Amino acid sequence: MTENAEIPGGQKSPIILRVTEHGEAATGSFYEKVGGRATFERLVRHFYEGVRTDPVLWPMYPEQDLEGAIQRLTGFLEQYWGGPGTYSEQRGHPRLRMRHAPFKVNQQARDHWLSHMRTAVDSLGLSPLDDATLWGYLDRAAQAMVNTFEE
Ligand code: HEM
């Protein structure tokens, strides 16, 4: 995981050995453990169902390119957790703080984002340990994305 060894919040994620530069992790990964691509896509589709109904979040998203947004978030998450590195092949280094700079991410937006993500994570029915692993990351990452105190 050389491309995204840096995660929001400045922490370092564990190094993941890949079979090729952008290939899958060579050793067992969280990605595989929880069911691979299908699980992450299910998570993100569920998440966006919530976002579409959200008066704070939905105006920020590209209405005509919802499928693109679904693919970008799914691709990022699968790469982060040890799946294929397709996201960085297509989008380059994640640089998530920078990519969120155009949006007003205040505490309210973070709370809304996390509430839809919580519902989506619940829908996966993961083991308590896997749930806590995934949720701990999403919670910290969402906090790291906040870029304004403006209401
Ligand atoms: C805290 C509240 C957040 C808000 C309001 C927010 C909002 C947005 C918006 C409006 C976009 C543009 C949609 C698109 O065209 O792809 C976006 C993209 C994205 N977000 Fe967030 N986001 C938040 C948190 C997060 C977190 C915690 C993560 C990672 C765990 C994340 C990962 C991404 C990724 C990977 C993209 C696509 C970047 C790209 O390649 O262009 N976001 N976000």
Tens place of pLDDT per residue across the chain (151 aa): 444 455 555 555 667 777 777 777 766 789 999 999 999 999 999 999 999 999 999 999 999 999 999 999 999 999 999 999 999 999 999 999 999 999 999 999 999 999 999 999 999 999 999 999 999 999 999 999 999 999 8
pTM equals 0.87
pLDDT at 23: 77
Give the span between the Cα atoms of 42 and 29, in whole angstroms: 18
Q: Whose CA is nearest to atom 24 of ligand 1?
A: 142
In a mutational test of the pocket of ligand 1, which residue from 86, 106, 113, 135 has the highest number of ligand atoms less than 8 Å from its CB?
113
CATH of the domain spanning 31-145, picked from 3.10.20.30, 1.20.120.1200, 1.10.490.10, 1.10.287.130: 1.10.490.10
CB atoms within 10 A of CB 107: 12
User: Hey, where are the domains in the chain?
Assistant: 31-145
* Ligand 1 and 58: CB distance under 6 A: no
